[in-house]
Amino acid sequence: MNLAIMKTKAEQALVESFQTVAGSLPGGSDVQRVRREAAERFEVLGLPHRRIEEWKYTDLRQILKDVLPPRVNDATELTIPDVIVALGPLGSLDAHRIVFVNGAYRAKLSTPGSLDGLEFSPLATQLADGESHTVKLTRTTGPADEDATLALNTAFMSDGAVLSIRPGAELSKPVVVVHVRAGREPHAATMRHVIEVGAGARATIVEAFVSLPGVVDEGQINTASEVVVHEQSRVTHVKCAVDQGDVAHLSNWIVRIGREADYRGFQQTQGLALARNQIFVAFDGEDAKLDLSGAVLGRGTNHIDTTLFVDHTHPGCESRELFKYILDDNARGIFQGKIMVKRAAQQTDGKQMAQALMLSPDTEFDSKPELEIFADDVACGHGSTVAEIDEDLLFYCASRGIPEAQARALLTEAFIAEAIEMVRDEPVAQALTDWARSWLNAA
């Protein structure tokens, strides 16, 4: 006998919300079909819960009690100075800026510059163009296929950045895709980015999720980025999500790396009540390199989860993962990292490390590193550590005349800096450091 699982209030609200707004979302009949299929897939899957192994530490059925309405035809007034204020340390960065406010593209706030070697268009425009772009909405493969948060993203996506970097192009400055949360009405925003980096290209792409001072406390964001890195290209891809209040942030990266390409991804998360950052990476060619790192800063009752899956399918590839957590008060951090090495992926070199610094005895860190290896000529390893600030180092600082509070701040910053240093672009790395420092100084 099959027993039907009763839907939660949030699950019912998501289904009803889609039925209400589906007709107002961008896209013709072909895109609407894709949306309906995704909504039906979510109805079957429901919100992830602890009985699903990958979600055992982040039970959305229990955590997500209410669903905020999507913002349709948002008209919140913002100025370029507002955007710069919201960006904090990233505001002074010399970059091409592409700005979205509450999930909708704002051309007047964007400063893309000459964009030599880069083509950009809003996803809403691409969706309206019809069938030729549907493939880009449905091409995800592997573990991401059966993910409920990605199904919701496909159903509700309203806008995003479609970026294409031409083969051989070398962008002179970063492209910053800005998501500003603004206004006094609680709402949900669903974004989808499609990024393609041509063979031999060089680029730095930054996704920044920020909010304006005085914005409403409640917010829900569902964002996904599909990234294709073609052969021999070199990409630095950064995401920073910095907010405060009762904000839920669900994120998916789906990355494919071509032959001899070099992809360096970094994520910084701080101040979010709930964050689930999922990263799915697959190698599409030999001798490719992957470097994933992240900095997580949580306090209060923040719940921040990083879950990644790296799929080695070709020989001679290298992957590195380093994630650092600083947790204070009653914050909870989660790291789940799985490296899969298929039989054909001989001479794989994979290393993974997750480390947490606990500033309070009431924090919690759950770490689950995994290796699944089917090849016999590999060099793979993983590890995880949890620690408090070293009392011997505090004593050493005190013996040099450094006050305890300052010494703690220095040691904490040095701990997180090891991850931020993995970002190749020095001005971007400095901005991320400044953001982390402001979080530490606010303690």
Average pLDDT, the chain: 91
Residue 326's pLDDT is what?
96
349-375 average pLDDT score: 94
Tens of pLDDT, residues 412-432: 889 999 999 999 899 999 999
For the stretch 84-135, pLDDT in tens is 999 999 999 999 999 999 999 999 999 866 677 899 999 998 888 765 555 4
| Six token digits for residue 133 | 């772009």
Q: What's the confidence (pLDDT) of residue 398?
A: 82
Q: Give 310-322 pLDDT, tens digit per residue.
A: 999 999 999 999 9
What is the pTM assigned to this prediction? Answer: 0.94
Separation between Cα atoms, residue 226 and residue 193, nearest integer Å: 6
pLDDT, position 2: 46
Alpha-carbon gap, residue 330 to 91, rounded angstroms: 31
Q: Which residues contact 284 (CB under 8 A, 6 or more apart)?
A: 256, 257, 258, 259, 313, 314
Residue 389 pLDDT: 85
Where do the structural domains in the chain lie, given as residue ranges? Answer: 9-389
Predicted confidence at residue 113, as pLDDT, reads 64
The predicted-structure confidence for 180-191, as pLDDT tens digits, reads as follows 999 999 999 999
Give the C-alpha separation, 90 to 84, whole Å: 8
Q: Would you state the pLDDT for residue 3?
A: 46
Mean pLDDT of 24-52: 91
**What's the average model confidence in pLDDT over 340-365?**
94
**If you write DSSP's letter for every residue of 25-65 in order, what string do you get?**
SS--HHHHHHHHHHHHHHHHH-S--TTSGGGTT--HHHH--
User: Rounded distance, CA 299 to CA 379, Å?
Assistant: 36
258: pLDDT strictly greater than 70? yes
